Amino acid sequence: MLRILDLVHATPTRLSNCIQFLRNSPRLETATFNIGYVLARDIPVQSVLTHSSLRHFSLSRTAGELLSLLCLPALSSVSLGGVATSVPLVTAFLARSSNSLRTFTYAQNHRDGLSVEWFRIVADLTAVHLKGVRADSQREFVLTLHRVRHDDFLPHLLSLELAGPRHVVDGAAIAALSSRYPEKEPIGWSRLNSLRVVCSDRGASMPWKDIGEVDWDSLVSLGNRGMEIHIGTGEENYLWEEHRVE
C-alpha cells in the first residue's frame, strides 16, 4: 500500500487527477505535489476529499485551488511554497485540517498575503517557517507574538524561522523574542527556544547587505540567556550562531 507520494509534473495536470491520486491511496502518509500548474477546476465544489491518514503534505509551484478540495484531519506538517492561492482559501483549509497540525511552512507568492489569523486557527503549532514574506507581514506576525497574551497566540511555539532577504530584527522584534523567552520556564505556554534568520536562496551565502536591520547586541544577549540563534544559511556557512546550553 502506497505511503509516500512525490509527484513532480511539468505539464498541465487536472485537479481531478490530483484528487484521484489521494483517493486511491487511503494509507498515504506523506504527499508532495510539485506540478507546475493545474488546469481549471473540473470537479464539483462540494467534492471535498477527507483523507484520514495523510500526516505530511507539501504543495509547491501549483494552483492553491487544490487546497479547497482537501480535508486532512491527521495532518501534522504542511508546506505551501510558491502557491498561487488566497488568504480565505488557506484559512478555510487550515480550519478543516488543524486538529493535529504542529509544523507550518509558508513561502509567500508575491500576489498573495499572509494572515495572522491563520495562527489563531492552528494554535498548537510548535514550529513556524516563513519564507520570502513581505516585510509588513513579517512585522505584523512578530508584533502579534509580543502584544497578544502568550497563552492565546501560539502558546506552544518552540521554533521560528524567517527566510528571505532584507530581514528586520529591530527593537520591536527583540522585545517580542525576549517576551517569548523568560528567565523561568513559563506555566501554560512554552518558551521560544530557537530563532533562525536565513537566506531563501538554497546553497547561497547570505551577503551582509542582504541581512537588513539587525540588533546584534540584543541577539547576543538572548543567545547568552539560552535561546538558540542562527543567522545565515542552512546548517553550514552561517554568519553567526549561538547554541542554547542544555
Whether the full predicted model's pTM is greater than 0.75, yes or no, is: yes
Tally of structural domains, the chain: 1
Q: What is the dihedral of CA 229, 232, 236, 239, to 10 degrees?
A: -80
Tell whether the model's pLDDT for residue 236 goes beyond 60. no
130/65 Cα distance (integer angstroms): 21
Evaluate whether residue 239 is within a structural domain: yes
In this structure, what C-alpha cell is assigned to residue 51? 483523507
Strand partners, 160: 128, 195
pLDDT band at 11 (very low <50, low <70, confident <90, very high): low
Give every CB contact of residue 203 below 8 A, 6+ residues apart in sequence. Answer: 233, 234
Tell whether the model's pLDDT for residue 241 goes beyond 70. no
Evaluate whether residue 158 is within a structural domain: yes
**Length of the chain in terms of residues written:** 246
Evaluate whether residue 188 is within a structural domain: yes
Evaluate whether residue 3 is within a structural domain: no
Evaluate whether residue 61 is within a structural domain: no
Evaluate whether residue 149 is within a structural domain: yes
Evaluate whether residue 184 is within a structural domain: yes
Q: What is the pLDDT of residue 203?
A: 47
Checking 212-218 for CB contacts under 8 A at 24+ apart, the result is 212/165, 212/166, 212/167, 212/168, 212/169, 213/167, 213/168, 213/169, 213/170, 214/167, 214/168, 214/169, 215/169, 215/170, 215/171, 215/173, 215/174, 216/240, 218/171, 218/174, 218/178
> pLDDT tens digits, residue range 197-206?
776 555 455 5
**Domain carrying residue 193:** 126-246
Residue identified by cell 532577504 is 165
Lowest mean pLDDT among 40-44, 164-168, 191-195: 40-44
Q: What is the pLDDT of residue 243?
A: 44
Contact status, residue 122 vs residue 98, Cβ threshold 8 Å: yes
Q: CA gyration radius for the chain?
A: 19
